[in-house]
Amino acid sequence: MEKLLVIGAGGLLGGRAFELGKGRFEVFGTYNFHPVKGEKMFQMDVTKRQEVFRIIEKIKPNIIIDTHALHPVDYCETHPEETWNITVNGTKNVAEASKRVGAKYVFFSTDYVFDGKRLSYTEKDKPNPLNYYGKTKWAAEMVLEALGVNHIVARAAVLYGMGGHGKVSFVSWVIEALRKGEKINIVTDQHNNPTFADNLIQIVFKLYEKDSEGLFHITGKECLSRYDFAKHIAKVFGLNSKLIVPITTPDLGQISTRPEKINISTKKVERISGIKTMGIDEGLKTLKMQLEENKSD
């Protein structure tokens, strides 16, 4: 059986990759700040080069799914050195270790590499990030190209799904707040393609099976505002949508600049993988079912 190493197995995306990889691979995982139990789980800091090489050379995986990231966009803006070290240097360390053992390396990038000035973005469009988070993700993409490592870059947006420690997803936050009867302020002028983590991982596995390489846009089907997304969440989960208050970006006082609208085209990845990217309601209904099943176990 082939070996899969999931870096960041304690997070939302890494946790789903770890679970969905079982049965298909012999699965190993790493964590840094949020301990995950298991004999095939290792603590690893991607910025520590020797540690990275030691663990990857010990496991000798066939595929590495690397979900490590410094997510808070405003934090990245005010902590550029730390962000560069984790996102760019950390990626370089893992990619070079991956190359040494002959593994396929999967890196997750972001729609924030774009400025939102075009109606729709394909893999052929040149990035122009407006914030430091997006700049470091694009820099990491270029490092992979320069290294000549066998890799897949998966650009995603607004991830949601089951589980995960650390950063709370937008969907989880909306559900929790509305269940408590709290009013929430949501922007009407930031548009993305929300991405269901399970769908993203399934497509990545299919690309691996097909030995595909390079850059892929893997997001959800629809591009909509955070406000409309929150409305969909309330509807699917049977929550009070009247608690969702529309605001605009200036009301948030965010430090870093966000693009107003990034509509991602997934035609390339759908053609190559043969898997359709999920729409909002399909993804949310699947998540609702998973959460209900998890509660009854």
pLDDT category at 297 given cuts 50, 70, 90 is low
Q: Does domain 3-168+194-221+264-278 have CATH number 3.40.50.11540?
A: no
For 219-254, what is each residue's pLDDT tens digit? 999 999 999 999 999 999 999 999 999 999 999 889
Contact 130, 85 (CB under 8 A): no
Q: Give bridge partners of residue 109 from the DSSP assignment.
A: 155
pLDDT given for residue 48 in this prediction: 97
What SS3 state is found at 4? strand
Distances 81 to 33, 84, 88, 131, 225 between C-alpha atoms, Å: 19, 5, 10, 14, 31
pLDDT category at 178 given cuts 50, 70, 90 is very high
Nearest to 104, CA basis, from 47, 63, 48, 139: 63
Q: Does 57 score more than 70 pLDDT? A: yes
- Average pLDDT value for residue range 89-97: 98
Distances 169 to 33, 109, 135, 160, 261 between C-alpha atoms, Å: 17, 17, 22, 6, 20
For the chain, give the percent of residues with pLDDT over 70: 99
pLDDT category at 46 given cuts 50, 70, 90 is very high
pLDDT category at 167 given cuts 50, 70, 90 is low
pLDDT given for residue 166 in this prediction: 62
CA distance 89 to 97: 12
Domain limits of the chain? Answer: 3-168+194-221+264-278
pLDDT given for residue 164 in this prediction: 74
pLDDT given for residue 202 in this prediction: 97
